[in-house]
Amino acid sequence: MPTNKQIHLDNRPQAEATAGNFKLVTTETPALKEGEVLVRHHFLSLDPYMRGRMNDAKSYAAPQPLGQVMQGGTVGEVVESRNPKYQPGDKVVGFGGWQEYSVVAGDQPGALKKVDTTHVPLSHYLGAVGMPGVTAWYGLVKIIEPEAGQTVVVSAASGAVGSALGALAKVRGCRAVGIAGGPEKCRYVTEELGFDACVDYKQHADAASLAKALKEACPDGIDGYFENVGGMVMNAVMLRMNAHGRIALCGMIAGYDGQPIPMAYPQLLLTNRIKLQGFIVSEHMEVWPQALQELGTLVGSGKLRPRESVAQGLESAPEAFLGMLKGRNFGKQLVKLV
């Protein structure tokens, strides 16, 4: 069995996360038991939710344990199997974490899934045709419930979730407007992802200024908003929400370091009778097959062209993760291991 490099959470962040919170470990891979599968990871996923799990605080998921492999999604290849359902060479998606290999109980529900890479690249099963894509689908379809002709806005529009949200909104006949950081990301959002407009939040010092730009991008107001950020961006959007608007609350990256995120205009929730609903996509596994089928079709047909930022080698994961939290990535952040 191969030696296996792993990255553990060594200690918890004090405010901002640093590379010193992580530790590189080399270990021996245990021999397979009956029913188990050895997977060599080709890519591992870096996602904003991981930052919240580094804290020992009450949240929707248990904290990441200290001294154990950082948890996260992986795609790879079966290299050895003692389970008749899996053969060497099978491409699979799982939750193998920040390590080069994982030993998986092949019969455990949801632990491992074979994927077809004929039309969809393997790495996309961690992004557009994976958890981020299903997150976008659920927030749009089940919470925002858009009608053709309505305006839907998403923050972090060039990221893995935001990019999928735009494509899903467009095929439903909506006006899709993104909020992203910097002219290059905004060009990608409109020219490659097909959004109708994109507002660069970095050009605005406060919510009033950003709201003015949103008024130009959304002349008929905002009917649905998919929130990934919080803070000033959310305040600006609140000023442009229409009556009976819907907000799908997915992430609040502005507060991942532990500081409060004040809401400047909570009275608008009442004034505009807004529905605001937080959600965790792993609690809605029943929609995954339907969502993944639509997302796979969008990628395969070229209607969704997701970008990826790829760091090389397991050792690069901590710095790539910290960079993603600061918006340095372009599209889905991955680490390539093979």
Check whether 157 has a pLDDT greater than 80: yes
295 domain-assigned: no
In this structure, which amino acid lies at residue 104? V
Tokens 């959002």 found at: 189
Say if CB 210 and CB 232 are below 8 A apart: yes
The reply to whether 258 and 328 lie within a common domain is: no
DSSP annotation of 191: I
Mean pLDDT, range 73-79, rounded to an integer: 98
CA 326 – CA 306 distance, rounded (Å): 20
109 domain-assigned: yes
Strands 275-278 and 308-312, by their bridges, are unpaired
Q: pLDDT band at residue 276, thresholds of 50, 70 and 90?
A: very high
User: What pLDDT, on a 0 to 100 scale, did the predictor assign at position 255?
Assistant: 80
pLDDT in tens, 113-136: 999 999 899 999 999 999 999 999
User: What pLDDT, on a 0 to 100 scale, did the predictor assign at position 27?
Assistant: 97
Mean pLDDT, range 63-78, rounded to an integer: 97
pLDDT in tens, 176-209: 999 999 999 999 999 999 999 999 999 999 999 9
The reply to whether 82 and 152 lie within a common domain is: no
Decide which of 62 and 91 is more confident.
91
The reply to whether 141 and 225 lie within a common domain is: yes
Closest CA relative to residue 98, chosen from 50, 142, 56: 50
288 domain-assigned: no
DSSP annotation of 129: T
The reply to whether 139 and 83 lie within a common domain is: no
The reply to whether 73 and 151 lie within a common domain is: no
Mean pLDDT, range 158-183, rounded to an integer: 96
User: What pLDDT, on a 0 to 100 scale, did the predictor assign at position 61?
Assistant: 75
* Domain boundaries, position 68: 3-127+306-336
The reply to whether 30 and 115 lie within a common domain is: yes
Strands 36-45 and 332-336, by their bridges, are antiparallel
88 domain-assigned: yes
User: What pLDDT, on a 0 to 100 scale, did the predictor assign at position 38?
Assistant: 98
Say if CB 298 and CB 7 are below 8 A apart: no
User: What pLDDT, on a 0 to 100 scale, did the predictor assign at position 319?
Assistant: 98
CATH number, domain with residue 222: 3.40.50.720
pLDDT in tens, 294-318: 999 999 899 998 999 999 999 999 9
- Structurally, how many domains does the chain consist of? 2
331 domain-assigned: yes
